[in-house]
């Protein structure tokens, strides 16, 4: 089987699993957004966004560095895994304790459900980190179908518990239900870790190792990239935290006042629905680049010039995936939001600007993020993590200043626009740095063909959407998404954006 085919199959398996879990996540979103309301869902979103700022301390780029180290010498996998498991567990405990302390010290969270919610959700984050650690073995062996199975099983468990809470256990008590929804995440992540560990044992033993010299080596190796990831997480999550701090909480205002003015929890609730969609999408390039990473590392070790060709193919794949999602998501924003949440989250109902506006803006951030992942991972492979750290530091500074200026006036709309510009700036600098070191050349021919194909697809979808304007939103999505996919693939083949060389590469032995 060819390298290209292995990479795409490994990515495809993960994406299929993500599509399944995305479907389950949509069910979750539908349940909890209606059950908790915009303000309650805002608090729920804040809990996880707040924890993400601390959870990245335990990740610290170690996942990516681990894959890279394992790919160099697979005979060292048991030793690497055991030590990384010990290191990340120690970092996770430290990070979660910090998160709990910080949540209770935040004056803005004093009379909310957030601090205790953070306590519960720390367990979910801990099991996620353990799961990510053991799954590195499956990633190196390109056997991520097993990690996908565990992800789906864990998600099913979470969904089942959430549905039971919302419809049977506490249908009329959203406060008690709020904490049980968080416990559902803990149970699901625990099950996911147990199943992943079961499959990983087929390839290596799982045990804790405490070689502190090795810990130090891994930590120092991942330090620049880890700082870059912390900064990346900051500019991706900062807007939600700032909205809760800069804007008043709805419980301090009269009933219905948040429909007329900006309130932190409701703005986060509206923004959170759209951001959840974005999070489901941006995992595609991460899965793809995690599959490319072992091959790219090997090419670099062998000084193989195919690494430049691999960068081009990766760029073409990410563009071909991201552009149609942007076009389709922008046009179908209203039925998408209606499908995954509730009609009250749409513009013109309870609020002047709803989640559909947020998703239209964030689609551009999504596209830039797709391409960012390529050049960011390339810098890691080239051991240029320090440059990536500086770039992300600039992104955080821009994001912080931008959000402080616009959130008090425009709420989530300002936060979404700031995210777009932050991603674009980071894209420019990561490309420049990666190109400067590797000296590759990116051809834009496939990009132009992809944009044309996506434009034609968008034209068909827009006409169909206007024709079906009064049709049930589920039918709109069920008909227009497959139609758009067929039109897009037709023009991609006609323009030869998908070439015979690419198809032959997949079949090559």
pLDDT per residue as tens digits for the range 429-461: 999 998 888 888 888 888 899 999 999 999 999
In a domain, 459, yes or no: no
* Residue 328 contacts residue 413 (beta carbons within 8 Å): no
> Is 16 within the bounds of a domain?
yes
Mean pLDDT check: name the lowest of 373-377, 426-430, 483-487.
373-377
CB atoms within 10 A of CB 79: 14
On the question of pLDDT at 427 being above 50, the answer is yes
Q: DSSP assignment, residue 61? A: T
Q: What domain count does the chain have?
A: 1
Residue 342 falls inside a structural domain: yes
| Residue 370: closest CA among 449, 425, 427 | 427
pLDDT, position 499: 62
Name the band, by pLDDT with cuts 50, 70 and 90, for residue 133: confident
45-49, 125-129, 200-204, 228-232: range with lowest mean pLDDT: 228-232
Structure tokens at 347: 């513009």
- Residue count of the chain: 509
CA nearest 217: which of 434, 104, 66, 359? 66
For residue 450, the model assigns a pLDDT of 94
Structural domain span for residue 7: 3-442
**pLDDT level of residue 10 (50, 70, 90 thresholds):** low
Can you read off the two tokens belonging to residue 280?
Answer: 């489901």
pLDDT digits (tens, 9 = 90+) for 294-309: 788 788 777 777 888 8
Q: Which pLDDT score is estimated for 24?
A: 83
Distance CA 345, CA 349 (A): 8
Report yes or no: 168 and 38 within 8 Å, Cβ to Cβ.
no
Residue 182: its pLDDT value, please? 95
Q: Does residue 451 lie in a domain region?
A: no
Name beta bridge partners: 347.
Answer: 351
Residue 454 lies in a domain: no
Question: Is position 475 within any domain?
Answer: no
Q: Which is higher by pLDDT, 70 or 416? A: 416
- Decide if 391 contacts 430 (C-beta within 8 A): yes
pLDDT of residue 257: 53
| Domain assignment present for 463 | no
Phi, psi of 348 (to 5 degrees): 85, -5
The answer to the question of residue 473 being in a domain is no
* pLDDT higher at 193 or 393: 193
**Of residues 498 and 314, which shows the higher confidence score?**
314
What is the pLDDT averaged over residues 356-361?
A: 95
């Amino acid at each position: 089987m060819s390298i290209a085919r292995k990479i795409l199959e490994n990515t495809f398996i993960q994406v299929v699993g993500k599509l399944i879990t995305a479907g389950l996540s949509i069910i979750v979103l539908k349940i909890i957004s209606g059950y908790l309301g915009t303000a309650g869902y805002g608090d729920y979103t804040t809990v996880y966004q707040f924890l993400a700022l601390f959870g990245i301390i335990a990740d610290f780029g170690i996942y990516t560095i681990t894959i890279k180290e394992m790919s160099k010498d697979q005979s060292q996998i048991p030793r690497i895994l055991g030590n990384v498991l010990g290191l990340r567990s120690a970092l996770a405990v430290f990070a979660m304790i910090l998160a709990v302390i910080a949540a209770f010290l935040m004056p803005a969270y004093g009379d909310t459900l957030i601090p205790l919610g953070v306590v519960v959700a720390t367990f979910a984050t801990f099991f996620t980190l353990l799961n990510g650690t053991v799954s590195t073995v499956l990633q190196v062996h390109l056997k991520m179908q097993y990690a996908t199975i565990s992800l789906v099983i864990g998600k099913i468990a979470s969904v089942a518990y959430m549905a039971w809470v919302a419809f049977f256990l506490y249908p009329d008590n959203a406060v008690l239900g709020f904490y049980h929804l968080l416990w559902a995440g803990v149970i699901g992540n625990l099950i996911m870790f147990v199943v992943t560990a079961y499959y990983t044992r087929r390839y290596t033993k799982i045990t804790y190792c405490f070689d502190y010299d090795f810990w130090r080596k891994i930590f120092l190796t991942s330090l620049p990239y880890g700082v870059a990831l912390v900064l990346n997480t900051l500019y991706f999550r900062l807007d939600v935290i700032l909205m809760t701090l800069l804007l008043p909480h709805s419980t301090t205002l009269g009933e219905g006042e948040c429909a007329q003015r900006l309130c932190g929890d409701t703005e986060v609730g509206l923004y959170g629905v759209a951001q959840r969609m974005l999070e489901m999408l941006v995992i595609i390039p991460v899965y793809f680049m995690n599959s490319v990473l072992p091959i790219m590392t090997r090419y670099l070790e062998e000084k193989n010039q195919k690494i430049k060709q691999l960068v081009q193919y990766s760029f073409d794949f990410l563009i071909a995936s991201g552009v149609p999602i942007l076009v389709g998501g922008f046009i179908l924003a209203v039925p998408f939001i209606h499908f995954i949440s509730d009609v009250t989250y749409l513009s013109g109902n309870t609020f002047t600007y709803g989640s559909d506006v947020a998703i239209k803006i964030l689609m551009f951030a999504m596209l830039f993020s797709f391409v960012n992942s390529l050049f960011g991972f390339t810098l890691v492979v080239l051991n240029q993590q320090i440059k990536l750290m500086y770039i992300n530091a600039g992104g955080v500074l821009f994001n912080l200043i931008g959000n402080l200026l616009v959130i008090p006036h425009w709420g989530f709309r300002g936060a979404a626009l700031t995210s777009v510009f932050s991603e674009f700036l980071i894209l420019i600098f990561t490309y420049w740095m990666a190109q400067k070191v590797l000296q590759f050349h990116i051809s834009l021919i496939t990009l132009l063909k992809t944009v044309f194909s996506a434009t034609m697809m968008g034209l068909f979808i827009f006409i169909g959407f206007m024709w079906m304007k009064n049709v049930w939103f589920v039918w709109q999505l069920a008909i227009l998404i497959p139609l758009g996919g067929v039109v897009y693939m037709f023009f991609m083949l006609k323009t030869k954006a998908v070439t015979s060389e690419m198809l032959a590469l997949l079949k090559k032995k």
